[in-house]
Amino acid sequence: MDEFLNSIVHGDCVEGLNGLPAESIDLGFADPPFNIGYEYDVYHDKLGREKYLQWSRDWITATHRALKPNGTFWLAIGDEYAAELKLLSQEIGFHSRSWVIWYYTFGVNCKQKFTRSHAHLFYFVKDPQRFTFRADDLENRIPSARELVYNDKRANPKGRLPDDTWIIRPENVVGEMMAEDGMWSPDDLTPTRDIDRTWALRPQDIQGCFQGDEDTWYFPRVAGTFKERQGFHGCQMPEQLLGRIIRSCSNSGDIVVDPFSGSATTLAVAKKLNRKFVGFELSEDYVNYGRGRLEQIRVGDPLDGSAEPTKSAPATKAKSDKASKSKKVVATPERAPSEERLAEAQLQTVLTGIVEAFQMTHDGFSVDRVVADPAINDEFVETCRRLGLAGEPRTWNSLLFRLRKSGKLAHIETVRATTMNWLDVDPFLHASEIALQSLLNEEFATSLDEILVDPLLARKFDELAHQFAPGRSSFEIRWAALKIRKQSKTARQRGAILTAPKRIGKAIVFSELDVSQIPSGPGVYLLRSKQKNNLYAGETLNLQQRLALHFNASHPVDVLPESTTIQIFPTQTRPSEILAWQSCFVRTHKPSWNYQELG
């Protein structure tokens, strides 16, 4: 199943659906060709009646097979075959829960029959006793007329479920989704005539026609000039309509399938709502367009369109209606979720995805290891990207640290330790510390965490450290920096009882230093510039080894000039006591390259 997830598969949907593992899909939504003559990119929608019905039976049967026992199936269809496909779906094994009418209120004007202004949405389940329907979730409820119209305090604060008629009228429409002859082209945008206002454009204009206990779904339909329209597919569902279906009939992390991906709206909404998805599409062009659309989307992004326009849009003005001028217009409260609330909802969705990505990639290691180890972090970042999370690597790493610090990852067991002790990092500890403090001094960041979570800063850190410790891996020098940061508080406490010597030996110009004459035991050393500025106080368990690295590496002149002098002070430091003397020297001499937390 993994090879299909979060992708659009180029090919026939019947073959594709039958290729999915049986009972693996939670929710299916299909907006198939209506068999009314529309010419798609690679498919002409005009089959013989029996052939169309047999083809419909094939793909609906394949959908039934792919759905879980508690799965749900929504079918969008026009008048011509609505009754036939409803009965056919029930013959295959689906049970009907609702017959929803999508009333978009602005159909093409017809001269010899009633103007079509609706489509059918059939809501089926496999098991009438076991299915997902999130009726109590606030995001799936709307305010009742008692609350919205009458401002009645007795109204249920949780609102109510919508009716089964969904009013969806486009904004600033020019042109229609389907012409009277069943043909449509995105280039055919003939302006509609609305001189006399002989029909209602918005529910606000006809609110008196609705019963007091009604409420309706109202979404702007996607027409050729709308910002929401993707511009390459003739028939496109509104995101808000699909959002209501997906939110109501699936849970976060569920798998949604669309046999006729088309403009990829179903998949786009699924991704925004943190569902996994699979789409099938015959047209290679549509596949490419759909993939491009999905690539630009991040989990938690807001759906296009207004969820409740009836609560935010004023009634249409009618200049000829003199009586309306005398009526007092009462503004209704803004009911749409605030941007802050949407942002918080997206953050929570992204955090959920980050936990999932960490579980999939940490391989038993800690959060620090996942962020500091380039190999593991690349896997973590790629998983976040594959999950479609909003943000970029720096954001995901930062939020991973935030989750760890807030205890939200405590349920994920760390079973593998990173075994790198002080003896291991001692030869290059100075390189990590100087690189860290250099970036802090230059105000690239304010902490080690900020450096490690940002791949660009982390690479800059690596480059600086490699000047002082060539040949060491990026993970080694990053982990050494983490050890310094972790040890700094203890080092300060231990160093507070130490007194730095007034004399620490003769200052030797490093170009004249004979490393072979340096003791191989522990000690502290102080680097100074020609101007007597203290550059760095280092502590090591092996002075000879450390200084050999310091002065045999090819350092840029402006980093460690030849006039630099060194003073050495031997100690009896043990590995468990590392950095205490260094902290004492940092506090006393205030060198500029040392990690300031040590002082």
**Domain coverage including residue 344:** 339-405
Residues 475 and 577 grouped into a single domain: yes
Q: Judge residue 488's burial from the number of C-beta atoms within 10 Å of its C-beta, 0-12 exposed, 13-18 middle, 19 or more buried.
A: buried
CA dihedral 351, 353, 358, 361 (to 10 degrees): -160
Question: How do strand 165-167 and strand 95-103 relate by DSSP bridges?
Answer: parallel
| Domain match, 427 and 465 both | yes
Alpha helices in 182-272 (DSSP H): 239-249, 265-272
For residues 398 and 510, membership in a common domain is answered with no
Secondary structure class of 99 (helix, strand, coil): strand
Same domain, 272 and 230: yes
Closest CA to 524 of 561, 498, 487, 493: 498
pLDDT, residue 562, reads 66
Q: Is residue 416 situated within a structural domain?
A: no
Q: How many residues does the chain have?
A: 599
Please report the pLDDT score of residue 194 as a whole number: 31
Beta partners for 565? Answer: 509, 528
Find the helix packing angle between 455-468 and 474-495, rounded to 10°.
Answer: 80
Q: Provide the pairing of β-strand 523-528 with 276-281.
A: unpaired
State whether residue 596 is helix, strand or coil: helix
Structural domain contains residue 413: no
Alpha-carbon gap, residue 414 to 588, rounded angstroms: 40
Instruction: State residue 215's pLDDT score.
Output: 30
User: Amino acid identity of 147?
Assistant: E
pLDDT of residue 104: 62
Number of domains within the chain: 3
Q: Pick the closest to residue 268 from 249, 234, 248, 240 (CA basis).
A: 240
**Torsion over CA of 491, 494, 499 and 505, rounded to 10 degrees?**
-50
Asked if the structure places residue 146 within a domain, the reply is yes
Q: Radius of gyration over alpha carbons of the chain, in Å?
A: 34
Task: Specify whether 160 is located in the same domain as 292.
Answer: yes
- 3-state secondary structure (DSSP) of residue 383: helix
Is 414 within the bounds of a domain? no
Residues 261 and 344 in one domain: no
- Beta-carbon contacts of residue 71 (< 8 Å; ≥ 6 apart): 23, 25, 26, 27, 28, 125, 126, 131
DSSP string, 398-460: HHHHHHHHTTTTTTS---------HHHHGGGHHHHHHHHHHHHHTTS-SSHHHHHHSHHHHHH
Cα separation of 11 and 9, whole Å? 6
Q: What pLDDT is stored for residue 473 in this prediction?
A: 95
Name the DSSP letter for residue 299.
B
Shared-domain flag, residues 41 and 170: yes
In a domain, residue 13? The reply is yes
Structural tokens at position 538: 């280092």
Which class for 51: exposed (0-12), middle (13-18), buried (19 or more C-beta within 10 A)?
exposed
Residues 552 and 478 in one domain: yes
pTM over 0.85: no
- Same domain membership, residue 293 and residue 358: no
**Quick one: 494 and 578 in the same domain?**
yes
Where does a domain end: 405, 437, 461?
Answer: 405
* 381 part of a folded domain: yes
Q: Are residues 197 and 300 in the same domain?
A: yes
Determine whether 500 is exposed, middle or buried from the number of CB atoms within 10 Å of its CB (0-12, 13-18, 19+): middle
Q: 90 in a domain, yes or no?
A: yes
Looking at the domain assignment, is residue 88 inside a domain? yes
Q: In what order do the strands lie in the sheet with 165-167?
A: 7-10, 276-281, 255-258, 25-30, 67-77, 118-125, 95-103, 165-167, 217-218
Task: Name the residue among 366, 364, 360, 365 with its Cα closest to residue 381.
Answer: 360
What's 516's domain CATH number? 3.40.1440.10
* CATH code (residue 258): 3.40.50.150
CA-to-CA dists, residue 547 to 366, 462, 531, angstroms: 33, 20, 21
What does the pLDDT profile of the chain (599 residues) look like in tens digits?
Answer: 788 899 999 999 999 999 999 999 999 999 998 876 555 555 555 678 899 999 999 999 999 999 999 999 999 998 889 999 999 999 999 999 999 887 765 445 556 666 666 789 999 999 999 999 987 776 666 665 555 555 666 666 666 666 656 554 433 333 333 333 333 333 333 333 333 222 233 344 444 333 323 233 444 445 444 444 444 334 457 888 898 899 999 999 999 999 999 889 999 999 989 999 999 999 888 899 899 889 878 788 777 765 543 333 334 344 444 444 444 444 444 444 456 767 777 888 889 999 999 999 999 999 999 999 999 999 999 999 988 888 899 999 999 998 888 778 888 888 888 888 899 999 999 999 999 999 999 999 999 999 999 999 999 999 999 988 888 999 999 999 999 998 888 888 888 888 888 778 788 887 777 777 888 899 998 888 877 788 888 899 998 888 877 766 544 444 566 678 888 888 898 887 889 899 999 999 899 899 988 88
The candidate with the shortest Cα–Cα distance to 514, out of 466, 566, 559, 469, is 566
**DSSP conformational letter for 484:** H
Would you state the structure tokens that stand for residue 370, as one six-digit string? Answer: 């996942």
Residue whose C-alpha is closest to residue 106's, from 98, 115, 114, 96: 115
Look up tokens 């430091």; give the residue.
573
Same domain, 12 and 129: yes
Residue with tokens 């929504």: 74
Pull the structure tokens for residue 428. Answer: 């290059």
Instruction: Please name the residue that has the structure tokens 């008629």.
Output: 165
**CB environment 229-252: b (16+ within 10 A), e (fewer):** ebebbbbbbbbbbbbbbbbbbbee
The neighbouring-strand residues paired with 410 are none
